[in-house]
Amino acid sequence: MSRYDSRERHSLVETAEALADAARAVTLRYFRTEGLEAESKTAAEYDPVTAADRGAEQAMRAELARRRPDDAILGEEFGARPGTSGLTWVLDPIDGTRGFISGTPTWGVLIAVGDATGPLYGVIDQPYIGERFRGGFGKAWCDGPPGRRPLRARTGRSLDQAILFTTFPEIGTEAERRAFRNVSARARLTRYGMDCYAYALLAAGHIDLVIECGLNPYDIQAPIAVIRAAGGIVTDWQGGPAHGGGRAIAAASPELHAEVLPLLDLSEVSA
């Protein structure tokens, strides 16, 4: 991170804000409107995409073309665009399209910027509620209806006191589901289906764990940046980097992470 001076950091933060504003304007034009159509990306399972998804990503890409044309882009809807700066913007215009088309306000716009080491700065934006969670470069904060407040993951909770969130049981292999149940059976409370908003709640100190699998880089990079800046930890199920997608565990504290990680050992539940 030291290679990015204050001027460059300011540019990245300012650009992320502009991208979130652009996506917010598009998504709110479509959310909870009559006649919004969704098509499935695949025939094997229902994976919806809407004009709001595509329009929001196009708006963010247009901002990047104007502000930072040398940076690379990886977006859910329009794929990868190479760059020369060493930085990549990772965009999910609507994380939680199923929730979006259902009218629930738990979807979000995910924006991350990073280099080969992973995400440096991230934004989780919930346009309808008006909450924007940010984290990176040593700071984590949220703007929302109550005003601006710092983000801080809560500490001092063991698994038997923890609140756990996930998109399960919709995704995952049987072995992955068994591993998840190893954790869920020991947690105080398990809740389902919050998409990226669960990660925002962890960064804000309201919950303790998010466990997922089947993720893409654009699903997890912004949450990684926000949660780490808020004092939490995000890894894969083996304790390694999670920014490439796949399986991820986000924990409010290193101690809780260390308690949960052995319970996600697939070699112990695959038999």
Domain boundaries, the chain: 6-150, 159-268
Q: Which of 190, 227, 222 is nearest to 110 (CA)?
A: 222
Long-range contacts of 146-149 (CB under 8 A, 24+ apart): none
pLDDT above 90: percentage of residues in the chain: 92
As separate numbers, helices (DSSP H) first and strands (DSSP E) second, the chain gives 7, 15
Neighbouring-strand partners of residue 165: 191, 210
Average pLDDT over residues 133-143: 98
Q: What is the pTM of this model?
A: 0.95
Is residue 144 very low, low, confident or very high in pLDDT (cuts 50, 70, 90)? very high
- The mean pLDDT of 39-56, rounded to a whole number, is 91
Give the per-residue pLDDT at 176. Answer: 94
CA nearest to 219, candidates 120, 94, 115: 94
CA-to-CA dists, residue 211 to 83, 155, 163, 186, angstroms: 32, 18, 11, 14
Distance from C-alpha of 98 to C-alpha of 107, rounded to nearest angstrom: 8
Instruction: Give first-to-last CA distance, the chain, whole Å.
Output: 43
pLDDT at 270: 60
Q: Give me the pLDDT at residue 1, please.
A: 44
The pLDDT tens digits for 88-133 are: 999 999 999 999 999 999 999 999 999 999 999 999 999 999 999 9
Determine how β-strand 131-136 pairs with β-strand 139-144: antiparallel
Burial pattern 79-102, b for ≥16 Cβ within 10 A else e, equals eebebeeebbbbbbbbbbbbbbbe
Give all strands (DSSP E) within 36-81, no chain letters: 38-40, 48-50, 72-75, 79-81
CATH number attached to the domain at 6-150: 3.30.540.10
- Fold topology of 159-268: D-Maltodextrin-Binding Protein; domain 2 (3.40.190)
Q: What is the mean pLDDT of residues 221-249?
A: 98
What pLDDT is stored for residue 46 in this prediction? 85
| Average of per-residue pLDDT values in the chain | 95
Q: Dump pLDDT digits (tens) for 9-41.
A: 999 999 999 999 999 999 999 999 998 999 998
Residue 271: what pLDDT?
Answer: 54
* Per-residue confidence (pLDDT) for residue 172, from 0 to 100: 86
User: In the predicted model, what is the mean pLDDT of residues 220-225?
Assistant: 98
Q: Is the pLDDT of residue 170 over 90?
A: no
